[in-house]
Amino acid sequence: MRALLHGQLRAAGGALRQLALSAEGGAPARRRGAGAGGRAGQRPRAGELSLAERRALVTGASSGIGEAFARALARRGRPLLLVARRAERLARLAEELGGPGRADVIALDLTRADAGAMLEAEVARRGVELDMLVNNAGSGLTGRFAELPVDRQLAMVDLNARATVDLTRRFLPGMIERKHGGVINVVSTSAFQPVPFFSVYAASKAFVLTFTESIAGELAG
């Protein structure tokens, strides 16, 4: 199995790192502009699901980059599971994107310790097989580290880092078993250097970047 770690993309000020699984053998490759699970412009091989048959789960989908991901995937015919805290915003977006069956919603606060288990159970209850996971949910808090409330800083770590690890661990094994799928972990330019007054946020995004590239290395063998 080959892991394709696509080149860094820039969107709405964020840097996206995409880990896509392929049934092909060989060493990992770095590319720009390819879609999840295949080369840009390539048709599905025999036995592969078409793009319209692959369901993508997008976290933090109610606004910002998550909403942009949802709209872009919907335009390409992807059925979606949209996850965020704000149920009303999710419902409005889902209706715009085609409603039940095309864009379904799960309102959930991913800072909860049991959020990953709850989401996994709900996906299983709905009989959904995920072909793409977009770990986009995140938050930032600026100020002096020694002065910011510790509970809010820890909640930021929970959302930005722990939830990414949790959901990747829950849904990646099925993709590996099926030899098809993709995980996109959203970071930002803060992942690439220290950022005073944004220290925990920058550290959490650096964690996600290194985590993603490390998993790519594991899957390359």
Look up the CATH number of the domain holding residue 119.
3.40.50.720
Is residue 201 part of the annotated active site? The answer reads: yes
More confident residue, 41 or 132: 132
CB half-sphere exposure, 171, CA atoms < 13 A: 35
pTM of this structure: 0.78
Q: Which residues, other chains included, contact 66 with Cβ-Cβ below 8 Å and sequence gap of 6+? A: 58, 59, 60, 84, 134, 136, 137
Q: Is 52 helix (H, G, I), strand (E, B) or coil?
A: helix
pLDDT, one tens digit per residue, over 35-45 is: 333 333 445 45
Say which of 201, 206, 207, 209 is annotated catalytic. 201
- CA 22 from centre of chain: 18
Kindly state whether residue 52 falls inside one of the protein's structural domains: no
Range of the domain at 70: 2-20+58-219
Kindly state whether residue 159 falls inside one of the protein's structural domains: yes
CA–CA distance from 97 to each of 47, 55, 86, 103 (Å)?
28, 14, 17, 6
pLDDT, one tens digit per residue, over 146-194 is: 999 999 999 999 999 999 999 999 999 999 999 989 999 999 999 999 9
- Quick check: 17 pLDDT over 90? no
